[in-house]
Amino acid sequence: MIDLSSVQINHQTGTYKLHVGNSLLNNAASYLSDIKASGPVGIITNSTVNKLYGDSLRKSLTGAGFVTRTILIPEGEEYKTLASAEQVISALIAQGMERSGTIVTLGGGVVTDLGGFVASVLFRGVKLVHMPTTLLSMVDAAVGGKTGVNHSTGKNLIGSFYQPDLVLMDVETLRSLELRDRVSGFAEMFKMGAICDAEYLEFLVANMESFLVADSDANLIRGITRSCELKAQVVEADEKETDLRRILNFGHTLGHAIENTLGYGVVRHGEAIILGMYGAGWLSNQVGNLSKEAWDELAGLLLKIPMNVSLASLNPDAIEKATRLDKKVANSQLNFVLLNKLGETKIQSGIPVLMIKLAVDAIIGAWEEKG
* 173 and 133 Cβ atoms separated by less than 8 Å: yes
Tens of pLDDT, residue by residue over 93-147, are 999 999 999 999 999 999 999 999 999 999 999 999 999 999 999 999 999 889 9
Range list of β-strands (E), 141-204: 146-151, 154-161, 166-170
What DSSP character marks residue 1?
-
Q: What is the mean pLDDT of the chain?
A: 92
Is it the case that residue 321 has pLDDT exceeding 70?
A: yes
Strands 154-161 and 146-151: antiparallel
Report pLDDT for 177: 93
Tens of pLDDT, residue by residue over 21-54, are 999 999 999 999 999 999 899 999 999 999 999 9
* 200 and 230 Cβ atoms separated by less than 8 Å: yes
Q: What angle do CA 107, 112, 114 make, to 5 degrees?
A: 120
Q: Report d(CA 201, CA 181) in Å as an integer.
A: 19
Whole-number percent of the chain with pLDDT over 70:
96
Is it the case that residue 2 has pLDDT exceeding 70?
A: no
Report pLDDT for 329: 53
**Nearest by Cα to 328 from 348, 311, 301:** 348
Q: Which residue has the higher pLDDT, 333 or 288?
A: 288
Q: Report d(CA 70, CA 45) in Å as an integer.
A: 7
Report pLDDT for 78: 86
- H or E stretch at 61: helix 55-63
Those residues with Cβ within 8 angstroms of residue 40's Cβ, 6 or more apart along the chain or in another chain:
66, 67, 68, 69, 95, 96, 97, 98, 101, 102
Following DSSP, what letter does each residue of 62-80 receive, concatenated?
HHTT--EEEEE--SSGGG-
Is it the case that residue 170 has pLDDT exceeding 60?
A: yes
Q: Using 50, 70 and 90 to split pLDDT, how confident is the model at 1?
A: very low
Tens of pLDDT, residue by residue over 219-258, are 999 999 999 999 999 888 877 776 778 899 999 999 989 9
Q: Report d(CA 178, CA 188) in Å as an integer.
A: 16
Q: Which residues pair with 349 in a beta bridge?
A: none
Could you tell me the maximum CA-CA distance found in the chain, to the nearest angstrom?
61
3-state SS of the chain: helix, strand, coil percent to 5?
55, 20, 25
Residue type, 33: S
Using only C-alpha atoms, what is the Rg of the chain?
20
Q: Report d(CA 142, CA 191) in Å as an integer.
A: 16
For the chain, domains (ranges, CATH) are 4-179 (3.40.50.1970), 250-371 (1.20.1090.10)
Report pLDDT for 119: 97
